Structure 1
Amino acid sequence: MSTFNSFSPSRRTVLKGVGAGAALAMTGGFAGRAFAADPIKVAAVYTVPVEQQWVSRIHKAANAAKERGDIEYVFSENTANTDYERVLREYCEAGHKLILGEVFGVEDAARTVAADYPDVAFLAGSSFKPDAEKAPNFATFDNYIQDASYLTGLIAGAMTKSKNIGMVGGYPIPEVNRLMNAFIAGVKESAPDTKFQVAFIGSWFDPPKAKETAFAQIDAGADLLYAERFGVSDAAKERKVLAVGNVIDTQKDYPDTVVASALWHFEPTLDHAIAQVKAGAFKAEDYGVYSFMKNGGCSLAPLGSFDGKVPAEVMAKVAEKEKAIKDGTLTIEIDDKEPKSS
């Protein structure tokens, strides 16, 4: 599978009091521990800047929990894959009870650390499922926001005039593929004859490369772009075509460009983990369902300046489908296969 980019070991970091000398003794079995009402010490290790779309949603939810007084929160960003295991161990030694992060490129290392610290809860973004036997304290999550992505596709299909849509992603891995495929499914409902240009830039954070790739798709006839990466909406703005956002809402930044966005809300995922840790009941489980729309894990962003510009009949259909998704009568397919250009 593809991996995250490695970044320079020099990183902005919030490692207050972390290190071998700051180690705190931890006693007692994990399953039997309860943390009452005291804030939980939470640390996150990110391989990209916290400004990056995906990580920004985790960071936002953690800061919200911190402001509520549920957790104490520190983090490291731009952590190189080669440095990831060391940083994880430092946080564990410093007495943090819940560790967050994305481990797509460092899966084995992260699970090894979890096995060495059975009293620490690990909640990791991963393409793989948890293994209760080998790592009972290692739960996984992913951005299963296919519901919202499908709704943006319904809108995009109604807004493209050339019936040619460009799609720029980071890597063709499940968490990207499923969103692209759900978007494509939505587009085809509104405009069955639409063609798609699909490209992956081989990076999670390279706005110039994403922008350059988007320019090429516009030159090849695309009048709407699916912006899975930063940089794509910039290309759309410059060439005066439309874009659909992913994970975060950038409509205010691109009021004449971003027609719709699928938002990821990490709060339900994190809140469940906090509750489990406080109850002494954290275990290896798949947290993916907490990203589903019916659980509050994703939504369609407000249309902002495009409110009233999308055909009314399309928005009525979007509202109908959204209601069905929320009440469980409509299930959007989770298709992790790599999407191809048509």
Structure 2
Amino acid sequence: MTTRRRIVQTCLAALPLALAGLSAAPAWAQSKVKVAAVYTVPYEQQWVSRIHEALKAAEARGEIEYKSSENVANADYERVMREYATGGAQLMFGEVFGVESAARKVAKDFPKTAFVMGSSGKVQAPNFSVFDNYIQEPAYLSGMVAGGMTKTGKIGMVGGFPIPEVNRLMHAFMAGAKEVNPKVEFTVSFINSWFDPPKAKEATFAMIDKGADVLYAERFGVSDAAKEKGKLAIGNVINTQAQYPDTVVASALWHMEPSVGRAIQAVKDGSYKAEDYGPYSMMKHKGSSLAPFGTFEKKLPADLIAKVQAKQADILSGKFVVKVDDSQPKSTAK
């Protein structure tokens, strides 16, 4: 009895220490990472949809608590960021191209909050990381498809704004098209808006009237015009072939999951630091890809598919590197 009593007393004495050890465990091990995102455009806009979808997937897996705001005006962006940061957000995503200085100011005021923002600028220590849509590799491949499918030798390209994020994809697309068809001509136009489908549609109609039979749909609205006129379109960032089965031949897809997963894990294990997440959008990191040809699988010439597949293999092996050109592309059509 004495021995049994001593064992019980020893266990009871050790209990407070054991409980103290549990309470000292890192907070992230016991709760989800609190993530917030601020978007200047609707969730369905191509660029933002990739971030939003990746974060929603992490939320569905139970990794994070996710809150977000869409259609936030530039004038309100800083205020909304501050509200989320003050409310306990540990990690924040968004695109800050039009509000760079304001966003970076907020990051300075909340050094313990991790920021991962779409930006053309550089990282800002200790907590402001940047990312970009470095999907020029599949854009090059989709350009090869366009060059092989045009019958008039004229391709129309409609973009939002002539900024690096758009320019580099257009240049890669043009280079890919010229590899297959050196004589192809391009008409390039920018609508100076991130989300104005009617304006993009009108710009596309003008290109079709001048002979373009393949259109590069950097913005929403281009594929609608191509569909109405019976022309072909090449998608960008997202795959819209399901909505345009007889129009969208190929698409360069952007996958934000590698970047989002990396940021969440860094916050969880306490290793987060300001870094450039741009490279994680490249094909070798599964941050981008050429969409399956789907409804056009049997409509594309076999030799064209073979060329595209061979070039993709060279990209993945490092044998071929797609040039990054951030300068504004110009029309070459006469």
Q: Same fold (TM over 0.5)?
A: yes
Deviation at 1:37, TM superposition (A): 5.5
Map of 1:108 onto structure 2? 101
Identity among equivalent pairs (%): 64
- Per mean C-alpha deviation after superposition, the further-off stretch among 317-326 and 91-100 is 317-326
**Aligned ranges 1:234-313 → 2 under 5 Å:** 234-313=224-303
For structure 2, the residue ranges without an aligned partner over 5 or more in a row are 1-25
**Aligned ranges 1:20-39 → 2 under 5 Å:** 35-36=28-29, 38-39=31-32
Confirm whether residue 42 of structure 1 aligns to residue 32 of structure 2.
Answer: no
Deviation at 1:325, TM superposition (A): 1.4
Deviation at 1:327, TM superposition (A): 2.1
* Bigger Rg over Cα: 2
**CA deviations over 1:132-165 (Å, ceiling 9, x no partner):** 3xxx100000000001100001111000000000
Contact 1:34 1:279 in 2 (8 A): no
- Cα-Cα RMSD: 0.9
The residue type paired with residue 295 of structure 1 is H
**CA deviations over 1:293-317 (Å, ceiling 9, x no partner):** 0110000111111012111111111
Secondary structure at 2:89 match in 1: coil
Map of 1:199 onto structure 2? 189
Map of 2:330 onto structure 1? 340
For structure 1, the residue ranges without an aligned partner over 5 or more in a row are 1-32
Secondary structure at 1:124 match in 2: strand
Q: TM-score, normalised by structure 1?
A: 0.88
Map of 1:227 onto structure 2? 217
- Equivalent-residue separation in structure 2 for 1:78 and 1:331 (angstroms): 36
- Equivalent-residue separation in structure 1 for 2:330 and 2:245 (angstroms): 29
Superposition misfits of 4+ residues, deviation over 3 angstroms = none
Map of 1:185 onto structure 2? 175
Contact 1:276 1:282 in 2 (8 A): yes
Map of 1:147 onto structure 2? 137
- Per mean C-alpha deviation after superposition, the further-off stretch among 123-132 and 106-115 is 123-132
Contact 1:252 1:304 in 2 (8 A): no
Q: TM-score, normalised by structure 2?
A: 0.91
Q: Structure 1 or 2: larger helix share?
A: 2
- Equivalent-residue separation in structure 1 for 2:310 and 2:27 (angstroms): 43
Secondary structure at 1:250 match in 2: coil
- Equivalent-residue separation in structure 2 for 1:250 and 1:282 (angstroms): 35
How many pairs does the alignment contain? 307
- Equivalent-residue separation in structure 2 for 1:70 and 1:144 (angstroms): 26
Q: 311, 314, 321: which one pairs with 1:321?
A: 311
Deviation at 1:39, TM superposition (A): 1.2
